[in-house]
Amino acid sequence: MNTAATPMTRLFGGIGAALSHPVYRNYWIGVSAQIVGRWMLKVAIGWLTWELTKSTLGLGIVAVAETFPLIVLSLIGGAVADKIGYLRIMWVSQLLLGGLAALFAVLVLADLITIEGVVVLTAVMGSLEALSGPARLSIVNALVPKKDLSAAIALGSASFNVGRVVGPAIAGALIVVVNIGTVMALAALTFFVFVLILLRTRIEETRSKSSGALNIVSDMKESLVYVWNHSGIFFLMLLLGATALLIRPYIDLAPGISVTMFGQGASGMAILLSSTGAGGLIAGLYLAQRGETQGLTRLVTGSFLAAAIFLLLFTVSGHIWLAAAALSLVGFFILVGGISSQTLIQNVVDPGVRARVMSLYIIISWGVPAVGALIMGWLADFVGLQITLAGGGVLAVLVWLIMARQGPKLKAQLEAVKET
């Protein structure tokens, strides 16, 4: 790949460096469109669930239906991606996801949807996301050189949070003005656009050297042992898990938060989710412009504490716009920690196990929040969302007090840059 400075690189720093690679730039455009659609669909499903159940526990159950497959299937997806390649598993799964989103739209528009149908369709979509997620995270290494990896990952996360701002805003407006089914139909189109771009993408992929198509169990075991024995990656996974379990569940509980804590409807839910996305967008752009690995370990530990503190402030804000401001900062620090952790993991992980290790990252980042949402949703039915969320923030601070000392000890191991 061309590593010479370009006008885009000189003008935009790390962002320009990542986008100066045409293959990555085209992929980034496609995945950005799909992310907007994913968030439109997520908001539509969340509000549909609230309309059907009027229960925070119902929201938690649907969240688990979507993300439980991540826990079960992501390791398999990582093993398969390491063996057959990233692109193939991605375009097939995105095509099927688009079809399921279209089916969702038809059922809603025809007034045939039930809460059982929501759970089943959401579980199937979660299964496809689980199988393709490790490939989606790992493919970045094949699109840019190692020196631009941090910027490319951060830019991808910035795109994710543009989607988290734009997607809920579009969905919230269309739910009020048109209907949920239309939102789902438009979301389906974004998946198909991404498929077309993936089919035109050409990359060189590093595949697992293990032989045989029936070694998935041993391949998964190998990745678990690898993470357990790598003190730096293991530390990052623990912090990610604490964030996912104690801080992030508010995202899946947003419909209930909007109604019970602030007396708002779908528009309030869109404000809260978009505020989180706005903070995450700023985090992604900051880290993309920063474009280096040095100092990321300290950012991981510091951002975890900051996210917990601002979550506590959110629970006592008392007004939708003050809450939105607090959540924008929660979103900022969650993403600083998440992007930095992902960059550090990809910086040091061996290429032959990369997708499998990233499947563990997906399980923790996307599966564990649903478990937290289920637990918090159940507790909230007894003590209320405000007390439940505040309890998560307090526990997160206690976890930070226990783990903060380990970061400096692992800095050199995690931040060493080796060109590949």
Q: Is 263 left (phi over 0), alpha (psi -120 to 50) or beta?
A: left
Q: What is the largest CA-CA distance in the chain?
A: 60
Cβ–Cβ under 8 Å, residues 244 and 364: yes
Total of domains in the chain: 1
Token pair of 337, please? 């920690």
CB burial class (10 A; 0-12, 13-18, 19+) of residue 5? exposed
pLDDT of residue 9: 44
User: Which residue shows structure tokens 């649907």?
Assistant: 62
pLDDT of residue 387: 93
CATH number of the domain enclosing 139: 1.20.1250.20
Cβ–Cβ under 8 Å, residues 36 and 170: yes
Quick check: is 210 in a domain?
no
Quick check: is 134 in a domain?
yes
Question: How far, CA to CA in Å, does 101 sit from each of 124, 144, 154, 336, 392?
Answer: 11, 31, 28, 30, 33
Quick check: is 362 in a domain?
yes
Quick check: is 303 in a domain?
yes
Question: How far, CA to CA in Å, does 152 sit from each of 13, 30, 219, 288?
Answer: 12, 14, 28, 7
Token pair of 42, please? 């997520």
Reduced to 3 states (helix: H, G, I; strand: E, B; else coil), residue 351 is helix
Spell 255-271 as b/e; 16+ CB within 10 A means b. Answer: bbbbbebbebbbebbbb
Spell 190-212 as b/e; 16+ CB within 10 A means b. Answer: bbbbbbebbeebeeebbebeeee
Quick check: is 3 in a domain?
no
pLDDT of residue 298: 84
d(CA 296, CA 305): 15
d(CA 180, CA 45): 8
Quick check: is 221 in a domain?
yes
Q: In a structure prediction context, what are the per-residue pLDDT tens digits for the chain, which is 420 residues long?
A: 444 455 444 434 566 777 777 888 888 888 899 999 998 999 899 889 988 988 888 888 888 888 778 777 777 777 777 677 778 888 889 999 999 999 999 999 999 999 999 999 999 998 888 888 777 777 887 787 777 777 787 777 778 777 877 888 888 888 888 889 999 999 999 999 999 998 888 776 655 555 554 466 676 677 788 888 888 888 888 898 999 999 998 888 888 888 889 888 878 888 888 888 888 888 877 877 776 677 788 888 889 999 999 999 999 998 999 999 999 999 999 988 888 888 888 878 887 777 778 878 877 887 788 888 889 988 988 898 999 999 999 999 998 988 877 767 777 677 665 554
d(CA 396, CA 240): 11
d(CA 224, CA 345): 14
Instruction: State which residues form the domain around 62.
Output: 10-203+215-415
Quick check: is 420 in a domain?
no
Residue 279: alpha-carbon gap to chain centroid: 14
Reduced to 3 states (helix: H, G, I; strand: E, B; else coil), residue 370 is helix
Cβ–Cβ under 8 Å, residues 279 and 218: no
Q: Taking the alpha carbons of 87, 91, 97, 100 in that order, is the dihedral positive or negative? A: negative
Describe the crossing of helices 231-246 and 406-415 by its angle, rounded to 10 degrees. 120
The Cβ-side half-sphere exposure at 277, using a 13 Å CA radius, reads 22
pTM: 0.70
d(CA 130, CA 132): 6
Reduced to 3 states (helix: H, G, I; strand: E, B; else coil), residue 324 is helix
Quick check: is 30 in a domain?
yes
